[in-house]
Amino acid sequence: MTLPLVSVVIPCRNAGRMLRPALESVLGQTWPRLEIIFVDNNSTDGSAAVAQQVLGADARPFVVTECAAQGVNHTRNFGYGLAHGDYIQWLDADDCLDPDKIALQVAALDASPADDIAYGDWSVHWLWAGRPDRTRRHTPTQTNDQVLRTLTGIWYPPHSYLLRRSAAELLQRVQAWWPARGVATDVEYSALAALLGLRFRYVPGAHVHYHVWSDQQLTSAIRQDERIASLRAIFQRLRRFADDSRARVTLTDAHRLLLQQDWTPAALRRDLVTFVRLAQGRFILRRRRDGHRIELDRHEAMIARWLTFTGYAAVPMHQALAIAADVPELSDDTIGIFRAIDRLRREGFLPPIDAADKG
């Protein structure tokens, strides 16, 4: 029996010292049947020549080509057009795969025909020149409500996924890699996959590496206001997508809350409010300037106190993720945090901040 072919699509713009390890991680895969599609996007550091040298020294079939249209999604779409595989593996040219990543996920999807996309574990590595290296490992779980996961902003790097060709083709038809999008592209891609009703399967041990290493990366180079503007546009598109009946899942009130969230940065300033403790773990939050008050339960009070203590000026998604990461008792209740933040905004306790204060 012929083994399924996996197409590894690698968009690249100036991957520098990270390119060779990325390519070697593909050549080191234990899955034997791969094709490698390397698409250079106007690099000025000789990335295409490095790719030709590294890939040319191996027996696996490969293509090194160019996409003249600037932008990572143009490059991904160009590369997909050359792919023949039964499965699609996306890989940015400065990240890496563990040797058995693809083999584990092919086996999992082969054993579970109802599932469309496999995902796994990942580590982020901070590799700044002149600074100590740092690593943080993330081990997800099986999450069946992927719409909720994607809309709350809980992120998996795109190379953690392996997609059946049928799933990738459906996403191409709706232009999930939106050509004009330059920021948060993977958020849009995975959210559309979830809204389309594609089924995700967690594969333990299918591990990848995400690298933060240069101030020229999108991760580092994009200003926060640009990132927020892109997320606002993405969520507008997701709302339209859901409202015109292309979504193939039943949306709950929690999904709708997240789709409609406010993308204006705001902060809860400690000098403008007073906390009053009541009996049985309840609190009053009072606004000093006009005396407006609301009653909070214990979790709402924890959220409000965190916001006042940190003074964190941000959009709800980023505030909620920060609170979930920082407050162990709330770590599994991101949607509850969203609801509390939404209430504080509606009651006027989280006023928008000026552009000069966004930090």
Q: Is it the case that residue 355 has pLDDT exceeding 50?
A: no
pLDDT at 218 over 90: no
Percent of the chain predicted with pLDDT > 70: 97
Specify the higher pLDDT residue, 359 or 8. 8
The answer to whether residue 356 scores a pLDDT higher than 70 is: no
Asked whether the predicted pLDDT for residue 220 surpasses 70, the reply is no
What tens digit of pLDDT does each residue of 161-213 get?
999 999 999 999 999 999 999 999 999 999 999 999 999 999 999 999 999 99
In the prediction, which pLDDT does 219 show? 64
The string of pLDDT tens digits covering residues 108-135 is 999 999 999 999 999 999 998 888 999 9
Query: Exposure pattern of 325-358 as b/e (b: 16+ CB <10 Å)?
Result: eebeebeebbbbbbbbbbbbbeeebbeebeeeee
CA–CA separation, 256 vs 244, rounded Å? 14
Considering the entire predicted model, what is its pTM?
0.94
- Torsion, CA 15, CA 21, CA 27, CA 29, rounded to 10: -120
- Is a pLDDT exceeding 70 seen at residue 256? yes
pLDDT at 280: 78
The pair of structure tokens assigned to 126 is: 């901070």
Rounded mean pLDDT, 243-271: 93
Q: What is the predicted pLDDT for the residue at 130? A: 85
Q: Is the pLDDT of residue 359 over 50?
A: no
Number of other CB atoms surrounding residue 190 within 10 Å: 25
Q: What pLDDT does 221 receive? A: 66
Q: What's phi and psi for 301, nearest 5 deg?
A: -65, -40
Look over the chain and give the mean of its residue pLDDT values, rounded to a whole number.
94
Question: Do 233 and 191 contact (CB within 8 A), yes or no?
Answer: no
- Backbone dihedral region for residue 42 (phi beyond 0: left; psi -120 to 50: alpha; all else: beta): left
- The one-character DSSP state at 270 is G
